[in-house]
Amino acid sequence: MKKVFYKIFLTLLICSYLPLMGLFVLQYWYTGNYVERLKTEGLIQTVENTKIENLKKGNIYDSRKHIYLSYINTEKSGKKNIYFNIFNKIEDKNSISEIAVGDFKIVKLKLSSITNHIYMLKRISENEAIAGVVEVIKPDIMTGLSLQIYKGYSIFAIPLIFILAFILSKKFSEPIEMLELLSTNIANYNFTNNIQIKSKNELYRLAENLNKMSENLKKNIVQLNEMNEKLKSELAEKQRVLDGKILFMRAIGHELKTPIAIINGYIEALQDGIIPQDEIEKTYSIIYNEGITMDRIVQNINTFLKTEDKTVDLIPEHLNLKCAIEENLNKYKLDIAQKNIDLKCELEDLEIDIDRKALHTILNNLFTNAITYVDDNKKLEVILKDGELQVANSSKELSEQILKNLFDPFYKGDDSRQRKYGGTGLGLSIVKNLLEVLKLDYSFTYDQNRKYAVFKIKFK
């Protein structure tokens, strides 16, 4: 754990000294030029903002910016003016006369070993000009001064930083070493030793938490065995789901096998010419109907898979549930009449917000299931009262196990009836999944007194 001490120590040294070095580098490379640029910009701004009328009255000195301004009239003073003499020291001696009216020229002269003088001459008219000068310390003088200050500061700062880094590193590393010891004990299932940290900081709270964790782990070891048993149970449940998927795929194959076999059989018979001429049209009708059956199976499988994965896109609409029930029930009036079913329909007005397509799917599957499995008593009830829809049909006795299995995909209470009425065994599975997606309470029970299978949905 000494590595922690050294890492903290070096990190503190670097983090403390690097900003000082960075500040010095910035001052060394940029401060002198930056100050000179500011002075030049200030000179230009002052000259531009100065009114010639004020300057004609006398020279102006800006004590805040240390800028000296002067008015020049070449007709009165000729070219013996001090500023013309200064500008004439530059290499291009004709450049002054070439300054356009309204334009200016700036030169920097080293008139001393410490400072530079920045001169500016702005031509106002053919014979008039404004001259300005500002003094600035040489950049190398400023960088040299910064270096001296930095050296003097470092003589005191480096030992102080070293001592403080050592003290802080020791203070921070000792609790970490204690925490490392405690965590090692916990990793080795040794829960006997606790640690005490005096400082009331994050490390103290971490130590307290580790102590609590150590105590809790003692208690939780027993619970781990229980969790292992629970995990075994969950794995068994996952295996059951996997087995269910395998059975689902087998059931799909079984459902499609019958219509495919019928279609193939009749096609082979047509190819072999063994079907009488007067039966050919009927044969085509059978093949077509079996194709419709296969299409219905595939559509129901797709609907089931979407509802099973909860990937149904719901678009709630405000609608009257009574009207929706009547609309769907009207499609079954012919089947109800042909089977001589006694229909009892009592519907109250009820306004709800629900996905219209999902509602139609639920109602169609419930009505199809009830009509398909109605027994010889031929009783069917569709009742909407107090926000609850009840679809019930007279039925042979259904055990609790059968009622539970009816929600499994491809489970059929009576395979011959399903085949006759085009069922796929997915209707109630789809209804169950949709109701769960819509978060509606439902139940499917068998009324022993009335001998009815009763499906209820609570809409309010």
Could you read off the pLDDT of 29-49 as tens digits, one per residue? Answer: 766 677 778 888 888 888 888
CA nearest to 142, candidates 243, 244, 24: 24
Q: Who has greater pLDDT, 322 or 24?
A: 322
Dump pLDDT digits (tens) for 394-407.
Answer: 988 887 877 777 76
Tokens representing 216 are 């809790």
| Percentage of residues in the chain having pLDDT higher than 70 | 69
Q: Report DSSP letters for 203-249, one per residue.
A: HHHHHHHHHHHHHHHHHHHHHHHHHHHHHHHHHHHHHHHHHHHHHHH
Amino acid at 301: I
- Answer yes or no: are the C-beta atoms of 22 and 195 closer than 8 Å: no
- The pair of three-digit structure tokens given for residue 447, joined into one six-digit string: 């009324």
Q: Please tell me which residue, 128 or 306, carries the higher pLDDT value.
A: 128
Distances (CA, A) of 60 to 9, 67, 70, 129, 358: 59, 8, 7, 14, 90
Strand, coil or helix: 377: coil
Please report which confidence band the pLDDT of residue 28 belongs to, taking 50, 70 and 90 as the band edges. low
> CA torsion angle for 51, 55, 59, 60 (degrees, to 10)?
-20
CATH of domain 314-458: 3.30.565.10
pLDDT in tens, 281-298: 888 787 877 777 677 667
Please say if the pLDDT value at position 205 is more than 60: yes
Name the pTM for this structure.
Answer: 0.42
Helix/strand/coil (H, E, C) string of 425-447? CCHHHHHHHHHHHHCCEEEEEEE
Q: In this structure, are residues 459 and 321 in contact, taking their beta carbons and an 8 Å threshold?
A: yes
Q: Is there a contact between 42 and 153 (Cβ–Cβ < 8 Å)?
A: no
Residue whose entry in the numeric block shows the structure tokens 């629900």: 354
Residue bearing the bigger pLDDT, 181 or 321: 321
**Mean pLDDT value of segment 78-97:** 54
Is the pLDDT at 82 greater than 80? The verdict is no
> What are the tens digits of pLDDT across the range 107-120?
877 767 777 788 88
pLDDT (0 to 100) of residue 247: 54
Q: pLDDT class for 416, splitting at 50, 70, 90?
A: very low
Listed residue (44, 95, 54, 52) closest to 86, CA to CA = 95
Residue 258, pLDDT > 70, answer no
Is the pLDDT confidence value at 92 over 60? no
What local confidence, expressed as pLDDT, does residue 220 receive?
A: 75
- Return the DSSP state at 279: G
| Domains in the chain: boundaries | 2-143, 314-458
> Residue 393 — very low, low, confident or very high, per pLDDT cuts 50/70/90?
very high
Strands 316-320 and 128-137: unpaired
What mean pLDDT is reported for the chain? 76
Q: Would strands 67-73 and 60-62 be described as parallel, antiparallel, or unpaired?
A: antiparallel
Which contacts qualify for 429-432: CB closer than 8 Å, 24 or more apart?
429/304, 429/307, 429/308, 430/300, 430/303, 430/304, 430/307, 430/361, 430/365, 431/361, 431/362, 431/365, 431/366, 432/407
**Residues pairing with 345 in the sheet:** 382
Going by pLDDT thresholds of 50, 70 and 90, the confidence category of residue 388 is: very high
Cα 346 to Cα 325: distance, rounded to the nearest angstrom: 11
pLDDT tens-digit profile of 335-382?
A: 888 899 999 999 999 999 988 888 888 888 889 888 988 999 999 999
Evaluate whether 71 touches 128 at the Cβ level (below 8 Å): yes
What's the confidence (pLDDT) of residue 418?
A: 44
Average pLDDT score over residue span 15-23: 73
CB 455 within 8 A of CB 443: yes
Quote the pLDDT of residue 415. Answer: 46
Strand partners, 318: 353
Asked if 346 contacts 384 with a C-beta cutoff of 8 angstroms, the reply is: yes
Question: Which of 185-189, 235-239, 245-249, 346-350: highest mean pLDDT?
Answer: 346-350
For residues 77 and 236, what is the distance between their CA atoms, to the nearest angstrom?
A: 110
First to last CA, the chain: 66
The single-letter DSSP state of residue 179 is: H
**How far is CA 397 from each of CA 158, 339, 380, 389, 425, rounded to the nearest angstrom?**
94, 21, 16, 22, 19
pLDDT number for residue 455: 92
pLDDT band at 452 (very low <50, low <70, confident <90, very high): very high
Q: Report the C-alpha gap between 375 and 378 in whole angstroms.
A: 6
Write down the pLDDT at residue 277: 81
Given a cut of 70, whether residue 309 has pLDDT beyond it is no
Q: Which has the minimum average pLDDT: 88-92, 344-348, 409-413, 417-421?
A: 417-421
Both tokens of residue 80? 């013996």
Phi, psi of 198 (to 5 degrees): -75, -40
Helix (H, G, I), strand (E, B) or coil at 104: strand
- DSSP 8-state secondary structure symbol assigned to residue 126: S
Q: What is the C-alpha separation between 460 and 443, in angstroms, rounded?
A: 14
Token pair for residue 392? 């019930």
pLDDT for 242: 64
Enumerate residues 6+ apart whose C-beta is below 8 A from 370: 380, 391, 392, 393, 453, 455
